[in-house]
A and B are shown apart, each in its own frame.
Chain A
Amino acid sequence: MDILKFLTAGSVDDGKSTLIGRLLYDSESILQDQLEALQASNRKNDDGTIDLAILTDGLKAEREQGITIDVAYKYFQTEKRKFIIADTPGHIQYTRNMVTGASNADLAIILVDARKGVIEQTIRHSYLVSLLALQHVVVAVNKMDMVDYSEEVFNNIVKAYQAMAAKLNLNEVTYIPVSALKGDNIVHESLNMLWYKGKSLLDHLETVPVAIDDSTDHARMPVQWIIRPQTDELHDYRGYAGRVVSGSFKVNDRVTVLPSCFSSTISKVEFFDKEPEEALAGMSVTLHLQDEIDISRGDILVNANHLPIVSQLIEADLCWMDTKPMDTSLTYLIQHNSKTTRCKISDVLHKVNINTLEKVPADSFNLNDIGRIVIKTAEPLAFDLYQDNKANGGAILIDSRTNLTVGALMFRANAD
């Protein structure tokens, strides 16, 4: 059994919270006391049934305003998989929240209202999913009950979406007609849409393959911590602790330490009381090298034959996440895996109108703006392009005055 992390994109009006609530409710993932709290909360649908949306509305302010303003994580499990849902808001003013949720998701469910079809918001959500390079997309055409469960309506929406998806290079797209309110095709297959031959949403989520990139070419382990007990019996012990973010490492593999560029050979892979043959992507391990090299937190161990880019001038897509606008005269901090260094925004190339996907000229970024910039870093970063290896191609910007995370960066090219 593995974990599928997915994101739901859509606005309150699309019935997103109802869809998640339905998924939890029909898969019997709601516990008795939560159900009681639900019933006691006095929120009902027009027909008197329980409003399932309340299950995902976390904070008081949100309950008062009736909208989702942050990322809420929900958990459920079936016999086939453990699921982690990032429930993110759909309105344009919460673009940063959706970017946050998408950064950790394997799959996105994009909700489309069957009555409205592909609208501006659908384009925006799909753009973000393609920007963050999620493996899979599900287009859930919701409120099918409101269009008499019409196959024609569904097919037209699929066609319209396909045309847009092609422009965004979205490949793995699955289309499912649903009614979250009535429960059609969420957990149980719908009897109202016998023309639909595909899987229900849950069935799809349970079976869609999620893979790790374990190619040795992409072997990358940022060093987080050096284990040096310095006791009498472990006097020479020196282990490099970190999580393999992509690829895999084996004993006797040649590795290079970046940015210093020294090479050595892996002498041991260690994990607590075990010495596994291989450290796979996703595993937190301790690596040992044959040679004594000066390595510290912030360095990265990589396959010696397939080095990432090492540069101080990087072209990147940026999503601005702070209420204070970007200031190109400021020095920011950039955090890329275990490395943090100072940086400046040396060039603003363009912004993207995320509703129409047009590139527009820009000289600064405001909250939720997305576009292309060039950054210059104080120390070199060892990175991959986000589209090739997202585990080593993303970074955050921190405002050193407020310490807030103000930007998400996806590296797109070496600008040196």
Chain B
Amino acid sequence: MSRNKLNYLDDLEAEAIYILREVAGQFEKPALLFSGGKDSITLVRLAEKAFRPGKFPFPLVHIDTGHNFGETITYRDEMIERIGEKLIVGYVQDDIDAGRVIEQKGKNASRNALQTVTLLNTIEKYKFDACIGGARRDEEKARAKERIFSVRDEFGQWDPKRQRPELWNLYNGKIHKGENVRVFPISNWTELDVWNYIRRENIPLPSIYFAHQRDVITRNGQLMAANPALNMDKDDVIERRNVRFRTVGDMTCTAAVASDAFEIDDIIDEISASKISERGARMDDKVSEAAMEDRKKGGYF
């Protein structure tokens, strides 16, 4: 006897829950990297489905650049209150103050690159052996080849040539002391899958994902939120427009898109019709064709 396979969202959900439970079963000190973006919010819901009515077998870890949108931090704190789990925050500002990193200067200055150092310090401080992240393979070409269990050396480096084969549903989480594993439970989801899941599960999101009025400037053809963290000069013209954000990163490197999508249904329609992929709205990937691969080798999420 046989039946059709599960509906695609149920299938993706079951796989992600399976992966989260493998993390719980295989590691001593895992953590879930929470950025405040929709992908990590989805991970939190999946963790609830994997472990309730028990507690999560890991804390949430947020690397705070100090350049987050206020809405993200508000959302984060309300969510932690609601789910009753532990949150650890690593501050990029602490590493700047301690002189471990130097803040970039100039018009396109961003703390995006600095957060890698804070992330690695936080991993070392708490001795995390596995960090769960919300990266997806459809985001970028280098990610398309990354494993679901991706081993990093003690410098956080990813070596694309030394990846372990991943067969069936068997994830090898064996590591040496000092190494850790980045785990990506929603590797096989696309942007549209995440949105459809959020709609189906009725998961609340930070308000900046939805269309709102905001002061923006146009830089390199992209709309950037006018804000104190962005180094602006007299050439920058501020306009007030209806915009929303497709990803939630730093205010310095996350571009808005002009949008009238006020509800989740509008967003799904917009993405279905969209001709710009999600990372196309991230200036940090535009630097070179191999930008993501280089950053991942250096320990980025």
Report A's interface with B, CB cutoff 8 A: 1-3, 31-34, 37, 41, 57-61, 70-75, 77, 81-82, 84, 96-97, 99-100, 103-104, 209-215, 224-225, 227-229, 234, 237, 241-243, 245, 271-272, 280, 282-284, 297, 321, 333, 335-338, 390-391, 394-396, 398, 400, 403-405, 408
Asked if B53 and A283 sit within 8 Å, CB to CB, the answer is no
- Which B residues lie within 8 Å of A72 (CB)? 141, 144-145
A272 engages B137 (CB within 8 Å): no
Q: Does B164 contact A (CB under 8 A)?
A: yes
Q: Is B287 located at the chain interface by the 8 A CB criterion? A: no
Known: A243-B18, A335-B170. 19 other contacts (CB 8 A): A1-B8, A2-B5, A3-B11, A73-B187, A73-B188, A75-B188, A81-B8, A99-B167, A100-B166, A212-B3, A212-B4, A212-B5, A229-B55, A241-B21, A242-B18, A243-B169, A272-B49, A283-B14, A284-B15
Whether B10 is near chain A, meaning CB under 8 Å from some CB there, is: yes
Looking at A228, A237, A243, the one whose CB has the most chain B CB atoms below 10 A away is A243
* Cα-based distance from A245 to B21 in the complex (angstroms): 14
Closest to A245 in B: B169
Indicate if B215 sits at the interface (CB-CB under 8 A): no
B276→A58 contact, CB < 8 A: no
**Within the complex, what minimum Cβ distance (angstroms) separates B116 from chain A?**
19
Contact of B6 among A34, A97, A212, A234 (CB under 8 A): A212
* A104 vs B25: C-alpha distance when bound (angstroms): 22
B234 within 8 Å of A (CB atoms)? no
Residue of B nearest to A213 (CB): B2
Instruction: State which of B63-71, B119-127, B172-180 sits at the interface with chain A.
Output: B172-180
A41 to B288, CA, bound (A): 11
Check if A403 sits within 8 Å of B8, measured CB to CB. Answer: no
Complex CA gap A398/B3 in Å reads 35
Min Cβ gap B13→A in Å is 8
Does B1 lie within 8 Å of A214, measured CB to CB? yes
Q: Which of A58, A211, A335, A404 contacts B142 (CB 8 A)?
A: A58
The interface centre, meaning the residue of B18, B137, B275 with most chain A CB atoms within 10 A of its CB, is: B18
A400→B137 CA distance, assembly (Å): 29
Q: How far, in angstroms, from A34 to B278 measured CA to CA in the complex?
A: 10
Contact with A along B9-27 (1 / 0, CB 8 A): 0111111011001101100
In the complex with contacts A33-B276, A72-B145, A77-B190, A283-B6 CB distance below 8 A? yes
A25 to nearest B CB, angstroms? 13
Q: Is the interface of A mostly helix, strand, loop or mixed?
A: mixed
- Within 8 Å by CB of B167, from A57, A212, A396, lies A396
Query: Nearest Cβ in chain A — how far from B199, in angstroms?
Result: 15
- The 9 A-B pairs of least Cβ separation, nearest first, read A33-B280, A32-B275, A211-B2, A284-B17, A31-B277, A403-B174, A224-B21, A103-B167, A284-B14
A to B CB contacts below 8 Å, 17 in the list: A2-B11, A33-B276, A70-B145, A73-B187, A81-B8, A210-B4, A215-B2, A224-B22, A224-B24, A241-B51, A284-B15, A337-B169, A338-B25, A390-B168, A391-B168, A394-B168, A403-B175
Q: Are B165 and A282 in contact (CB under 8 A)?
A: no
Q: Kindly provide the distance from the CB of B22 to the nearest chain A CB, expressed in whole angstroms.
A: 6
User: What residues of B have a CB within 8 angstroms of the CB of A224 in the complex?
Assistant: 18, 21-22, 24-25
Q: Indicate if B48 sits at the interface (CB-CB under 8 A).
A: yes
B102 at the interface (CB under 8 A from A): no
Please state if B2 and A394 are interface contacts (CB–CB under 8 Å).
no
Bound: A282/B175 CA distance, A: 28
Q: A3 CB to closest chain B CB, in angstroms?
A: 5
A59, B291: Cα distance in complex, Å: 11
Contacts of B277 in A (CB 8 A): 31-34
Question: Which chain A residue has the least Cβ–Cβ distance from B147?
Answer: A71
B52, B166, B168, B175: residue with the most chain A Cβ atoms closer than 10 Å: B168
Contact A82 B193, beta carbon cutoff 8 Å:
yes
Set of chain B residues within 8 Å of A391, measured between Cβ atoms: 168
Chain A residues, Cβ within 8 Å of B163: 70
A332–B52 CA distance with the chains assembled, in angstroms: 35
Asked if B192 is at the interface of the complex by the 8 Å CB criterion, the answer is: yes
Report A317 CB to chain B, min CB distance, Å: 13
Cβ contacts under 8 Å, B1 to chain A: 214-215
Q: Say whether B50 faces chain A, with CB atoms less than 8 Å apart.
A: yes
How far is A241 from B17 in the complex, measured between Cα atoms in Å? Answer: 10
Q: In the complex, A1→B11 CA distance in Å? A: 11
Once the chains are docked, how many angstroms separate the CA of A224 from the CA of B276? 40
Interface: B7 (CB within 8 A): yes
Tell whether B161 is near chain A: CB-to-CB under 8 Å: yes
CB-based nearest A residue for B137: A73
- Distance A405 CA – B276 CA, assembled complex (angstroms): 38
Contact A82–B8 (Cβ < 8 Å): yes
Taking the complex as formed, is B103 at the interface, i.e. its CB lies under 8 A from any CB of chain A? no
The answer to whether B138 has its CB under 8 Å from any CB of chain A is yes
A393 to B169, CA, bound (A): 12
**B140–chain A nearest beta-carbon distance, Å:** 9
B165: nearest residue on chain A (CB-CB)?
A: A100
B95 proximal to A (CB < 8 A)? no
- B293 pairs with A59, CB closer than 8 A: yes
B168 A335 Cβ-Cβ under 8 A: no
Q: Are A59 and B6 in contact (CB under 8 A)?
A: no
> A75-B138, A211-B3, A272-B52 in contact; A31/B274 too (CB < 8 A)?
yes
A52 to chain B, nearest CB (A): 14
Query: What's the nearest-Cβ distance from chain B to residue A246, in Å?
Result: 11
How long is the Cα–Cα vector from A210 to B54 in the complex, in angstroms?
35
The complex places the Cα of A310 from the Cα of B275 at a distance, in Å, of 54
Cβ 8 A contact of B289, one of A37, A242, A338: A37
Q: Given A34-B277, A73-B188, A282-B14, A59–B142 Cβ distance below 8 Å?
A: yes
Given contacts A59-B293, A84-B188, contact A237 B21 (CB under 8 A): no
CB distance B49 to A280 under 8 Å? no
CA distance A60 to B145 in the complex (A): 12
* Bound Cα distance A60, B161 (Å): 11
Question: Given contacts A31-B280, A103-B167, A282-B5, are A60 and B290 in contact (CB under 8 A)?
Answer: yes
